[in-house]
Structure 1
Amino acid sequence: MSFTVIKHPLILDKLTRMRREETSSKDFRENLNEIAQLMVYEIFRDIPVKELEIKTPVKKAVGYTVDIPVVLVPIIRAGLGMTEGIQKLIPTARIAHVGLYRDEETLEPVQYYAKTTENIAESYVIVVDPMLATGGSACKAIEIAKEWGAKNVKFVCLVSVPEGVKKLQEAHPDVEIYAASLDDKLNKQGYIEPGLGDAGDRIFGTK
């Protein structure tokens, strides 16, 4: 049950910008994508590569290429805010989608959309959502990905809390979790404290 908080100085700086109440949607989105890019280096540290022969302008040489397809699974809506940053570094990544919303009374996830990609069973699957709060949406999205046949799954978020981490670890002990921060707790409404507010609303400028 691996849980990693990636504490890079640039991530800490950008996350602080995102937390500020006065930060605009434009700046929020830009920093979210930049943090996602910075996290990619750690998340893909163990991705397999294969050797291949190439020719440089000088001579033949041995190079390397990623040896497994990558599928990103953003949890709609907010997870979409992280896909662009990751795709900039992995442009061949395919994108599946899982649409979930949280019932405000039960705090349980409700599915309204799901669309997979080809070869997900053979792929390196990254489920992304900026927030790991109650853990309900993350657990449901990973459950759906596994139903599609995904075997190598990681979960990537920006802000997490112990309650959500514990629930996800218990439900999917085989899934590695990566976060940019482990915050204090959930409040009575199920929101992360101190958190950064509703990530979806802040990304898209909605209320």
Structure 2
Amino acid sequence: MSDTPHLTIVNHPLVQHKLTLMREKETSTAVFRQLLREISQFLAYEVTRNLEMETKRIETPVQEMDAPTLAGRKLALISILRAGNGLLDGMLELIPSARVGFVGLYRDEETLQPVQYYFKVPEHMEDRMVIAVDPMLATGNSSVAAIDLLKKSGAKNISFLCLLAAPEGVARMKEAHPDVPIVTASLDSKLDANGYIVPGLGDAGDRMFGTK
């Protein structure tokens, strides 16, 4: 794991191997989707490393003990539609009790700015750890807009989880939301003229859902 206070890169060998398979253009939609689900669980493990804990009294088959358990309200997973759902599925397998919300944003292809079309999140956001998920942190515009909306809903403890990040997106997020840590599998080299991550893996949503 390589990190700074704002950015954590999960360089676990299995994560990097699976990411390489996802990058290959010949990888099928079904395999891409499965790999994303698998990687999301590794990333979820890292982003939840600092969840608050408490103890409760339990009885094992041998004796009673004070055992660690998660404290506070259930955490909230927020999928930035539509590609965020690919990370969401795997994370829910690991954290099935999590509450789930959705932020619908699409990128205007001319301005590269996000346009909101849907927003639905759990109650009591101020009392939950909130993890926003989107496979690609490219320009950062959509991610910043999504975090803006989550903060307006009351969220205070927010992390951002993505598969790939570009330096431009990381810088944009750090400028707008320095209190939101980012967890990713890779910091790629740059954005191209169309705002896509290079070398990247193409459009994550299209590759996940088999659309163009």
> Does 2:137 align with 1:146?
no
- 1:170 is matched with which residue? 175
Measure, in 1, the Cα distance between the counterparts of 2:186 and 2:171.
15
Measure, in 2, the Cα distance between the counterparts of 1:81 and 1:202.
11
CA deviations on 1:62-93 (whole Å, 9 max, x unpaired) are 21111132001110000000011111111110
- 1:45 is matched with which residue? 49
Measure, in 1, the Cα distance between the counterparts of 2:11 and 2:119.
32
Secondary structure in 2 matching 1:170: helix
- 2:37 is matched with which residue? 33
Out of 202, 205, 209, the residue aligned to residue 204 of structure 1 is 209
CA deviations on 1:177-204 (whole Å, 9 max, x unpaired) are 1110000100001101100000000111
Secondary structure in 1 matching 2:172: helix
Give % identity: 53
Secondary structure in 1 matching 2:208: helix
Q: CA RMSD in A?
A: 0.8
Secondary structure in 1 matching 2:19: helix
CA deviations on 1:112-139 (whole Å, 9 max, x unpaired) are 0000111111000000000000000100
How many Å apart are 1:25 and its aligned residue?
Answer: 1.0
> Does 2:91 align with 1:89?
no
> Does 2:22 align with 1:18?
yes
Secondary structure in 2 matching 1:114: strand
How many Å apart are 1:155 and its aligned residue?
Answer: 0.4
Measure, in 2, the Cα distance between the counterparts of 1:99 and 1:66.
30
- 1:111 is matched with which residue? 116
What are the equivalent positions in structure 2 for 1:116-195 lying under 5 Å apart? 116-195=121-200
Measure, in 1, the Cα distance between the counterparts of 2:190 and 2:155.
31
How many Å apart are 1:44 and its aligned residue?
Answer: 1.1
Measure, in 2, the Cα distance between the counterparts of 1:39 and 1:9.
13
Secondary structure in 1 matching 2:54: strand
Measure, in 2, the Cα distance between the counterparts of 1:72 and 1:130.
14
Secondary structure in 2 matching 1:96: strand
Measure, in 2, the Cα distance between the counterparts of 1:73 and 1:45.
18
Measure, in 2, the Cα distance between the counterparts of 1:127 and 1:23.
26
Measure, in 1, the Cα distance between the counterparts of 2:187 and 2:90.
21
Q: Which runs of 5+ in 1 are unaligned?
A: none
Measure, in 2, the Cα distance between the counterparts of 1:202 and 1:164.
21
Out of 63, 70, 73, the residue aligned to residue 66 of structure 1 is 70
Q: What is the one-letter code of the residue matched to 2:98?
A: A
Measure, in 2, the Cα distance between the counterparts of 1:201 and 1:71.
26
Matched pairs, number: 207
Secondary structure in 1 matching 2:103: strand
Runs of 4+ in 1 over 4 A off after TM superposition: none
